[in-house]
Structure 1
């Protein structure tokens, strides 16, 4: 099995059968070898730097009814909110002196949040913070809307496909889009959106939930093969965590070990990718963020949202948003990263720049 890992390091790809064998492997020595190789690859590319992004959760309004999500449209127990442009800019103004040079605007697919307002907000951030990168994670939009956001100044867009298996996708999302009906969702349309984003010129991110209900190892192999073919600049993966106000309230959370294994696999497949150690990892275990970094992640996203609104953006239960997960807890985050031999980088960390300036300095972590 170690030979498969070494082959992945050399060739950046395996067959479907080889990926499945690696995912099913539970040998501790093999898993340690996988993580070590992924860590070595990350250190060779980025040194011991971990890039920070300021996460701003701009609205919890959503037109979708994804069965796993706490802010789904039919959850009547959510107190809805929507940040104004000035509130979003104020979050950026608080983050910039702390060293944030990437702002991530994340929100539900809200029909009330008109595309022109997003365009105006992106343009306002670009004018006030011209040296910063702007990442959007606002779901499925039209090709025209994506173009408008891009020309207004957005650099990156994250749209996780969640699963590449059509039948599994239908088990996680309601309905299909027909005509002007936007109440349903389809995998085909989501993949079309990802193609549009790359075509327009975004640094594009996709990813999956690990351990989502009805997910199988074969589904994960499909996801790996798709990500290998799509070659995203960003890869966002995290464990599924249930929310009490969803149809999947009683489902078990995803596996930490399997999530870390996939994170290492993706690092070896895409050495220059920007891969976050997600809030979901930090929610699942107190040291989850650090374990993600040691498995090959190179990005963390402290929360810059107004503290009064953070609990309302409840995608899953017990979502971490304070302490080292918060922008105001940056010193605590620095201490935690330093304890495992890493340090915060306050650079923008653009994928293409990093891909062209590989750093082969040796680090002992």
Structure 2
């Protein structure tokens, strides 16, 4: 039995305690305490990020992702720099303080092109810039940090090398992990995360993944359930369990009180209302897409992503209403990590 605590200091669960929580042994305690810590740290604020998914080309061939290089059925696109900047302008006009620039692992965008994009955004707007561009070279990551990028997200999906290799053929586990550590050394607010219920994942693997994320002392932590895509080798695998993903978010919150944890769109794909429920179970970030409408639906990493047909104003209004319905407040500021304020190990 895990005793309750009103402290905002991190809880370091053992592997066996995490496995018990993943199995639902203390759901009431887990979710109540995760909600209390989230509200205590972030004062009922939910950070809003505007995301621009500017390319769905990818050189990787991951078994779980609809953008995998061997998928010939996806309609590929690349936005021009002007198109990206137009989308960023829209984000700024809504008063949102963070833009997330995301793509598949697409090396057609030269390092200096991305650096100049970052400089232009910084010159035009007072925005935090989060990059999620995959496995780029160390010198590129350094260049982009020097150009003004604030954050970088590089998900491992799992820290179990055998499962990683099964899910990401020809990717290099050790190189990706080393890249994550290098990103952190550059002074980025750094994020990573896992996919719950990946085919082949066990609770023991997931518990170890959670402990690895804790050890990395990250600013951003992402977890979402596996969603089967018909055009991948995992097409026949069952979707992940929303409740399991919520448990992971809650555990991560208690172990990392000041980290930013998004409520992912994959939750909503599996179960209507699951994303907003995640905001009551440890999550504190949502990321509406500002990807232009002509390519919006083509960023199809899993079925059901970017399927809304309403305009961004309508989607934002509905999102804000959902957040406020739970007594929370949408917050469009930069929303930086508060990790250092709530970590007793420093």
TM-score, normalised with respect to structure 2: 0.95
Residues 170-249 of structure 1 correspond to what in structure 2 (within 5 A)?
170-174=165-169, 184-249=170-235
- Whether the aligned pair in 2 keeps the contact of 1:206 and 1:236 (CA below 8 Å) is yes
With over 3 angstroms needed to count, the CA separation of the structure-2 counterparts of 1:35 and 1:357, relative to structure 1, is: closer
Aligned match for 1:41, one of 23, 27, 37: 37
Q: Paired residue for 2:102?
A: 106
Does residue 75 of structure 2 align to residue 79 of structure 1? yes
1-structure distance, mates of 2:46, 2:159 = 29
Tell me the CA shift for residue 21 of structure 1. 2.1
1:124 aligns with 2:124: no
How far the C-alpha of 1:280 sits from its partner, in A, is 0.7
| Partner in structure 2 of residue 277 of structure 1 | 263
Contact map agreement 1:301 1:325 (CA 8 A) in 2: no
Choose which of 251, 259, 262 in structure 1 pairs with 2:248.
262
CA–CA separation in structure 2 for the residues paired with 1:117 and 1:322: 31
Residue 340 of structure 1: how far off its partner (Å): 1.0
**Root mean square deviation of aligned Cα:** 2.0
Shift of 1:111: 2.3
Runs (4+) of structure 1 exceeding 6 A deviation are: none
Match among 248, 260, 272 for residue 286 of structure 1: 272
Q: TM-score, normalised by structure 1?
A: 0.90
What are structure 1's unaligned runs of at least 5 residues?
A: 175-183, 359-365
1:87-121 Cα deviation digits (max 9, x unpaired) = 01100111112121100001011121222221121
Aligned to 2:142: 147
- Residues 209, 237 of structure 1: 8 Å contact kept: yes
SS of the residue 2:327 aligns to: coil
- 3-state SS of the aligned residue for 2:72? coil
Partner of 2:46: 50
Q: Figure out how many residues of one structure are paired with residues of the other and give that number.
A: 343
